[in-house]
Chains A and B, each alone.
Chain A
Amino acid sequence: MTTAPEAPELHRGVRVGGWSWVWRPWTVLVTVVLAALTFLIFCVSIAVGDFTIELPAVFRTLIGQGERVDEFVVMDLRMPRALIGVIAGVALGISGALTQSIARNALASPDVLGITGGASATAVFVVTAGGGSAIGSAFGLSTAALTGGLLTGLLVYFMAWKKGIDGFRLILIGVSVSAVMQALTTWLLVLADIRDVARAQRWLVGSLDSRSWTEVWASVWIMAVLVVVVLVVAFQMQPMHFGDDVAAGLGVRYSAVRAVLLLCAVLLAGVAVSAAGPVPFVALVAPQIAMRLVRSPVPPVIASGLFGAVLLIGSDLIARTVLPNDLPVGVVTAIIGGPFLLYLLVRSNLRRAA
């Protein structure tokens, strides 16, 4: 045993008053860059449209110093769409990070937990059975989808509960419920009138079209509350990556922590689905990419949220500008997310073979 070791610089602390954290410059840098990128794409997304507003004019308008004309276009026409994109992206990213951390499985995501499947089935049911125009105003559809998604998520959650939540059990039950929901969706689409099918399909791929401020504000507030809860409780989640026994040994009441965070994940995914439809792959891919950018062994919550936003509004921007005939955002995120999922799967195959 060595005495008086020359303490190697392992973890430097930052201290602000009575508050202190481990100083991780790379994590902070990546997070700040992602935040800046989110804001930039947000602004560009507002600038681009039927006619272009210069970026500086967008900035001026955002801080309330813009011209009247710009103000109307920016604040009333384009801002809701861009903002709902950011909210849905952040919600999906964080929801994915939580799900993957809790299940200790890179392939877990709210899609697997049945939230997306439940929302889709409900939305399609409303569109096809509700005779289209009667119930099917955009707001009614979102609310119905949100309710369906949450109920399915909670159903999976309670079925997976067996003296606490076990990762594998959760995923198995989630996959089963999702499969049932998917079958239900397909069945409804087969039976439905062809015009309703077109509308349902449009919703099913996810889209940021025609958003109102009412929807935006509702989402903003729910999101804000959930993010605060997640950030506070996530500190307790850190030892849980080492297994339940270690977490318990370190004084964490893991069952309670897991229950709260999983509930937050379900609600966040619900917010995203009601805001933007079942946008695929963002929740799965964002935490995995954020992990690699931050060089963290576990999904980083904040960076995952920010990358989710970048991916979602970035895809929306690409869909509206680069690609022809205004594709819905879900198609683009799937085009980016699908290959990445394959890359993850193939890579873990190769590693096992090595």
Chain B
Amino acid sequence: MTALRNDAARLGAEGVTVGYADRVVLDNLDVAIPTGVITTVIGPNGCGKSTLLRTLSRLLKPRQGTVLLDGGDIARLKTKDVAKRMGLLPQTPIAPEGLTVADLVARGRHPHQSWVRQWSSDDADVVAKALHMTGVADLAHRPVDSLSGGQRQRVWISMTLAQGTDLLLLDEPTTYLDLAHAIDVIDLVDDLHEGGCTIVMVLHDLNLAVRYSDNLIVMKSGSIVAQGHPSQVITSELLLDTFGLQAKVIDDPVSERPLIVPIGRTHVVSKSDQEPS
């Protein structure tokens, strides 16, 4: 397991056990998130990947163990201070009907505001920058509910950026998006990474995860079974063991990453290639 409290990790967990009611989801788990790269958590449904992300973002309180942010126990930090250091985009945010893009993104400044100081020139600058970085500045005065799914997701990411943190946690940012919009949103996430952000996200689409991540965390039944660069981690054995998926791992013709080609029961032409090498 990766060494903890190293210089490369701003966020990590030590021996966390997390559960709902009488079911333990994460059992005594250690993890460290390397700084400055995109880390993606993958794994089959119900393996605890969202739970891990929610634990790291202190939405869930572990029964045992600690989540460390910049070397300190996240549970002992003030919620507002955590929000100044770490941005979070949950799976199902709600935009009230009629709320404009500009107003939504401006809410991202909340951790920096107080009752007497509800809007400063800093706020205005950061919000304008966040709108531009995510390419939604032209939509600023449109109601969020009038936008397409992809645009809406950009707006939410924009709000998270307005928080002014360089550590972003995204829970399935491409859910419900068609492939073109999913690529568009992930490209944006990659832009943010190029701009110096540390990103942790949960993705369902394995090939997107492989293409865009520098660090993969593979989970199965509440434990981490592999972690590292996609080229090293992704093998057909791992896919079979973890996901129960028969697949071939080939070289991606358009990138320097592996490409997963699933083998189903039907529509497979070359039977001889079916067995994982």
| Chain A residues near B (Cβ < 8 Å) | 1-2, 5, 7-8, 10-11, 13-14, 18-22, 104, 232, 235, 238-239, 241-243, 245-246, 248-253, 295, 297-298
Contacts and interface: CB of A to CB of B under 8 A. Distances in A.
A297 B116 CA distance: 23
B89 A11 contact: no
A20 to B, nearest CB: 5
B121 A7 contact: no
Nearest to B106: A11
**Chain B interface residue bracket vs A:** 35 or more
A242 B95 contact: yes
Interface in B59-117: 59, 78-84, 87-99, 102-104, 106-108, 110-111, 113-117
A106 to B, nearest CB: 10
Interface in B106-142: 106-108, 110-111, 113-121, 123-125, 127-129, 131-133, 137, 140
The 9 closest A-B pairs by CB, nearest first: A251-B83, A249-B88, A245-B90, A251-B80, A297-B96, A297-B99, A297-B98, A251-B111, A13-B119
Given A20-B120, A246-B90, A298 B79 contact: no
Contacts of A8: 128, 137, 140
B118 A243 contact: no
A251 B137 contact: no
Contacts, number: 123
B96 A251 contact: no
B39 to A, nearest CB: 18
A2 B90 contact: no
Given A10-B106, A235-B118, 7 more contacts: A7-B128, A8-B128, A8-B137, A13-B124, A235-B113, A241-B96, A249-B88
Interface of B: 57-59, 78-84, 87-99, 102-104, 106-108, 110-111, 113-121, 123-125, 127-129, 131-133, 137, 140, 143, 160, 163, 191
Contacts of B113: 235
Contacts of A20: 116-120
A243 B90 contact: yes
Nearest to B116: A19
Nearest to A3: B132
A297 to B, nearest CB: 4
B124 A7 contact: yes
A241 B116 CA distance: 21
B114 to A, nearest CB: 8
A251 B127 contact: no
Nearest to A295: B98
A10 B107 contact: no
A232 B114 CA distance: 10
A19 B117 CA distance: 5
Nearest to B135: A1
A252 B79 contact: yes
A242 B107 contact: yes
Contact of A246 (B93, B106, B131): B93
A251 B82 contact: yes
A249 B87 contact: yes
Contacts of A5: 128-129, 132, 137
B110 A250 contact: yes
A242 B155 CA distance: 13
A307 B124 CA distance: 32
A22 B128 CA distance: 15
Contacts of A18: 116-117
Contacts of B80: 251
Contacts of B119: 11, 13-14, 20-22
